[in-house]
Chain A
């Protein structure tokens, strides 16, 4: 029987974090960007059928980067959480804060207890009746929960991307302006141009009825950038 090696906890956590970061860095980034009527979620995704963005509940949306099967598991768990809570209590009791906390707990648990940590990072966005009530949460692979303002970026080059978004941000931009700003920021960081049909984008739009999530068509993205 072999003797287990002693590994100091610092080293263990660092190894796991490095592993997760490397996995996430391989994927493409996603951004959330506030505009006049709500929040735009956008990123490069040449694969049209495997979505990285999704509807969670009336006012709540999800974006994930990293390993598809892992953030897809989180997305489905989020919808289950939201529908179960809304069905059992009331629709207004489902909040991004509650969901972000649950994601944070889950990812934290997986990071320390599972054989391998999840190589993912997710955004949970919620809009309220006015832009003051918009909430953006970013949850990292180890369960770190960050509340962001105005914009958020996830993925390998998140810091660089956040800087570009900061430069581009203006209050009360219209949708076309927000699309142009987000797309340009991502292209600047990636240092190449991205075709209109290679984007995946969706909005949470205050002007819509109950379910405020809407996917954007390639035509809308192209139109905003021309």
Chain B
């Protein structure tokens, strides 16, 4: 960030700055976050993940493991990778952790900023498109090896269904039908879900599917951490339904994770 003051007095009224975008405001004030001159070869930046989302009867469930790795070192054991984007959507991150967290914070602020200024929320598709634009804005860093790929899901208030979106490094945005995964253990989780997924399951079954997919990924991918019952480290699991974003409590996850681990072949 530059040295432009965040809190100038008097308040700049800026009638000519486009109204509802927070990102544009940051650009205008030269406050956009940037990581100039990073060469990832020189340093170990935490990355590695499995995050996934799937549709069920009431909406969507999204889950992510808690491990961050830097090279072959486990850098953090309790990282949070699944976040609320706004009241009716959730976003999860994979890739270079520091940049991904900043991306999420910007995205959350952008959605809230838009909602307050316009007095109405963006459509779910509008939010997904906006996130795609933010990923695309990061393209120069991606070419240096600092990749950030989010996963986005939410409850479409107009259509009254849950929706899932995946992204690629260049900002491509793809709507997925039943389930979506990303991160280093994503393909393992995907192959589990391919066999186990069923339409219109209830919440308990959806949570079990999500947690078991993470367990399956953790078994094969060193950069994905499984549930650690002894230390009390459990995946972040959230649901988004017609009543909005809800974080599933650790107690409930612990109970399901216990059952899943018991039953694993």
Q: List chain A positions with a Cβ less than 8 A from chain B.
A: 51, 54-56, 73-74, 76-81, 83-89, 98, 101-103, 105-106, 108-109, 211
The reply to whether B14 and A83 form a contact with Cβ atoms under 8 Å apart is: no
Question: Looking at chain A's contact residues, is the secondary structure mostly helix, strand, loop, or mixed?
Answer: helix
Query: Measured between C-beta atoms, what is the minimum distance from A215 to chain B in Å?
Result: 9
Distance in angstroms between the alpha carbons of A81 and B117 in the assembled complex: 12
The reply to whether A79 and B7 form a contact with Cβ atoms under 8 Å apart is: no
Chain B residues, CB < 8 A from A87: 22, 105-106, 109
Q: Which residues in window 6-63 of B have CB below 8 A to A?
A: 6-7, 9-15, 19, 22, 25-26, 29, 31
The reply to whether A98 and B7 form a contact with Cβ atoms under 8 Å apart is: yes
User: B230 interface residue, CB < 8 Å from A?
Assistant: no
Q: Which residues in window 103-142 of B have CB below 8 A to A?
A: 105-106, 109, 112-113, 116-117, 119
The reply to whether A106 and B7 form a contact with Cβ atoms under 8 Å apart is: no
Listed by A's residue number, 14 A-B pairs whose Cβ atoms lie within 8 Å are: A51-B119, A55-B116, A56-B116, A73-B13, A77-B14, A80-B113, A81-B7, A84-B6, A84-B7, A85-B6, A87-B106, A98-B7, A102-B10, A105-B10
**With contact pairs A54-B116, A54-B119, A76-B117 given, residues A83 and B22 touching in the complex (Cβ less than 8 Å):** yes
Distance in angstroms between the alpha carbons of A209 and B20 in the assembled complex: 24
Distance in angstroms between the alpha carbons of A76 and B116 in the assembled complex: 9
Query: Measured between C-beta atoms, what is the minimum distance from B209 to chain A in Å?
Result: 28
The reply to whether B31 and A79 form a contact with Cβ atoms under 8 Å apart is: no
Chain A residues, CB < 8 A from B109: 83, 86-87
Name the residue of chain B whose CB is nearest to the CB of A86: B109
Query: Measured between C-beta atoms, what is the minimum distance from B221 to chain A in Å?
Result: 33
Distance in angstroms between the alpha carbons of A102 and B11 in the assembled complex: 5
The reply to whether B19 and A78 form a contact with Cβ atoms under 8 Å apart is: no
Chain B residues, CB < 8 A from A77: 11-14
Distance in angstroms between the alpha carbons of A56 and B112 in the assembled complex: 10
Residue in B19, B25, B112 whose beta carbon sits within 8 Å of that of A84 in the complex: B25
